[in-house]
């Protein structure tokens, strides 16, 4: 029997190759969608709309974006701690903004969730509380987006075009199906069907679920916080769109923007390209020119990217500060212990 051939220096394991291929595919799809958009929408008109924003407006939009995400920090920490996570505020800020960086520059929003959980993993009291709280947080984010879109649909004074109505109904049905499916799995699956390690992890998750179920007020507060965050992000987008020349009521933004954001779950690089295409398509029934709709989408992409970079820097600074503080605390303990033994 021949021995297995070791990997050459330039070779990657099959798992790593598959991961890189998926990342390349996502980036390729985003690039292809953007290329297709620019093939039909004049780039010069899009850039002209984006150039209407001054540097001060860009800076204010970025600061507003980061401040609004503090609501997301409090919401996520509330759910994690409701499940017994025991996560401090500073560590929650660090983990959340590290996740914001990851969701911007890693494939799909799930990459950001993994980064956020990985940073918080070593400092929480309950790992199961962290995982389950983060899962509930993600589910409430989608529910909040759907609720904001539903409010926008109710406020639109005239009947929606069939295309917009079908997209809304499809997204609502998908969210409902996923939510009901997740609940059904948790009810149907029995721990004794699995091995010891899986049973132990499932038991921890069930403990976290019971902890959350005993605090329905925390779940309700988190849901309302998520709706507030998404609504304020809509207002920020509408403000940028108005600066670029889009003149439509806010309730249209409340309907269009959440649906466009939900399209970001498509297999692309953080939804880039697909979100803009959805924004263009959804704005057509309301008389918004395609070049202005695309400009509005790209303007917020700039805010998201710069916000992700700023979030990564903030997470790094908090991490270095915590490390320095822990080092000083260790040094002080050593100094006190040395003086004690010297006296003896």
Which of 301, 280, 201, 289 is closest to 245 using CA atoms?
289
CA-to-CA distance for 255 and 283, rounded, in angstroms?
10
* Rg of the chain, C-alpha, whole Å: 23
CA-to-CA distance for 23 and 26, rounded, in angstroms?
5
Which of 282, 241, 225 is closest to 259 using CA atoms?
282
Position 122 scores a pLDDT of 86
Position 341 scores a pLDDT of 47
Position 2 scores a pLDDT of 45
Please count the other Cβ atoms lying within 10 Å of the Cβ belonging to residue 325. Answer: 10
Quickly list DSSP for 316-336: HHHHHHHHHHHHHHHHHHHHH
CA-to-CA distance for 272 and 298, rounded, in angstroms?
9
Position 177 scores a pLDDT of 67
Position 163 scores a pLDDT of 62
Residue with tokens 């954001």: 261
Position 105 scores a pLDDT of 77
Position 198 scores a pLDDT of 55
- 283 near 41, Cβ under 8 Å? no
- 254 near 150, Cβ under 8 Å? no
Position 75 scores a pLDDT of 94
- 237 near 276, Cβ under 8 Å? no
Position 275 scores a pLDDT of 84
Position 283 scores a pLDDT of 86
- C-alpha distance from residue 214 to each of 75, 127, 143, 208, 226 (Å): 17, 19, 21, 10, 20
pLDDT along the chain (344 residues), means of 10: 47 51 69 79 87 91 95 93 87 93 71 84 85 83 84 67 61 60 59 55 58 76 92 94 89 87 68 80 85 90 92 90 68 51 53
Which of 194, 336, 178, 202 is closest to 262 using CA atoms?
178
Neighbour-count burial for 149-163, b at 16+ CB within 10 Å, e otherwise: beebbeebeeebeee
- Check residue 107 and report its DSSP letter: S
Question: Is residue 114 packed enough to be buried (19+ CB in 10 Å), middle (13-18) or exposed (0-12)?
Answer: middle
Q: Helix 127-155 and helix 216-244: axis angle, to 10°?
A: 50
- 137 near 222, Cβ under 8 Å? yes
- C-alpha distance from residue 28 to each of 24, 31, 33, 273, 320 (Å): 6, 5, 9, 10, 35
Boundaries of every domain in the chain: 19-333
Position 108 scores a pLDDT of 54
Which pair of structure tokens corresponds to residue 11? Answer: 């070779």
Quickly list DSSP for 252-271: HHHHHHHHHHHGGGSSSSTT
CA-to-CA distance for 102 and 335, rounded, in angstroms?
40
Side-chain half-sphere CA neighbours of 140 within 13 A: 24
- 308 near 142, Cβ under 8 Å? no
Position 96 scores a pLDDT of 94
């Amino acid at each position: 029997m021949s021995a297995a051939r070791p990997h050459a220096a330039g070779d990657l394991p099959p798992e790593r190759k598959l991961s890189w291929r998926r990342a390349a595919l996502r980036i390729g799809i985003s690039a292809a969608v953007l290329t297709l958009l620019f093939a039909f929408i004049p780039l010069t008109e899009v850039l002209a709309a984006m150039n209407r924003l001054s540097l001060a407006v860009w800076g204010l939009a970025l600061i507003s974006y980061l401040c609004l995400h503090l609501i997301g920090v409090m919401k996520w920490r509330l759910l994690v701690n409701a499940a017994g996570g025991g996560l401090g505020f500073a560590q929650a800020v660090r983990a959340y903004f590290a996740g914001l960086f990851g969701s911007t520059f890693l494939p799909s929003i799930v990459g950001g969730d993994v980064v956020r959980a990985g940073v918080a993993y070593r400092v929480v009291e309950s790992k199961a509380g962290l995982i389950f709280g983060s899962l509930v947080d993600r589910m409430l984010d989608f529910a909040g987006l759907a609720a904001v879109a539903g409010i926008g649909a109710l406020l639109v004074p005239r009947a929606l075009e069939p295309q917009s109505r079908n997209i809304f109904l499809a997204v609502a049905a998908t969210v409902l199906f996923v939510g009901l499916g997740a609940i059904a799995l948790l009810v149907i699956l029995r721990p004794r069907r699995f091995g010891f390690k899986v049973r132990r992890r499932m038991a921890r998750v069930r403990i976290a679920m019971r902890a959350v179920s005993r605090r329905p007020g925390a779940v309700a507060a988190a849901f309302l916080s998520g709706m507030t965050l998404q609504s304020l992000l809509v207002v920020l987008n509408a403000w940028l769109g108005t600066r670029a020349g889009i003149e439509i009521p806010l309730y249209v933004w409340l309907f269009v923007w959440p649906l466009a954001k939900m399209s970001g779950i498509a297999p692309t690089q953080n939804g880039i390209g697909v979100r803009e295409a959805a924004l263009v398509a959804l704005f057509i029934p309301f008389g918004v020119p395609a070049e202005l709709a695309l400009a509005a989408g790209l303007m917020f992409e700039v805010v998201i990217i710069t916000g992700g970079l700023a979030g990564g820097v903030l997470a790094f600074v908090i991490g270095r500060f915590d490390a320095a503080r822990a080092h000083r605390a260790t040094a002080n303990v050593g100094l006190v212990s040395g003086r004690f033994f010297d006296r003896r």
